[in-house]
Amino acid sequence: MFSRLFFLVSLIFLMVSCYGPKKRDIPDGILSEEEMVKVLINIHLSEAKTNDVKGKPKREQVAIYRLYEDEIFDEFGIDSLTFKQSHDFYMENISEMRDIYKQVVDSLGKMQKMLEEEKNKK
């Protein structure tokens, strides 16, 4: 899946990157850091949902993921090009992308902890 590859490549860049200039002005058409965090959280949650669809051929899983992705883009009023351009923009300064992914990982960790606490209550 493209998204899984995208995530892994992003993660690798984050791990081996050097520090660069901190913050830049965000051009028109590029998601803010906060928007990027929200979109990435939803994308990774969608990937997890898609991975939970067991017994389906890979192309059906990809089709299901694309539906989730379309819903995310609709929710945030963006398209795949805007997302790609935003991703490319933040990858030019890896410290910014590292900050974004730190927030994504923190948020997903909090969500997981809340789910585990709810599960333990039952």
Query: Per-residue pLDDT for 3 more than 70?
Result: no
Do 47 and 10 contact (CB within 8 A), yes or no? no
Write the pLDDT tens digit of every residue in 66-111.
999 999 999 999 999 999 999 999 999 889 999 999 999 999 999 9
Mean pLDDT of 14-32: 71
Write the pLDDT tens digit of every residue in 24-63.
788 899 999 999 999 999 999 999 888 877 788 888 888 9
Q: In the chain, what are the domain boundaries?
A: 2-18+29-121
| Model pLDDT, residue 88 | 95
The burial of 5, by beta-carbon neighbours within 10 Å (0-12 exposed, 13-18 middle, 19 or more buried), is given as exposed
Count, residues in the chain: 122
Find the angle CA(92)-CA(13)-CA(69) to the nearest 5 degrees. Answer: 80
- The amino acid at residue 95 is S
pTM (two decimals): 0.76
Reported confidence tier of residue 22, pLDDT bands at 50, 70, 90: low
How far, in Å, CA of 96 to CA of 74, rounded? 25
| Model pLDDT, residue 121 | 83
| Model pLDDT, residue 25 | 83
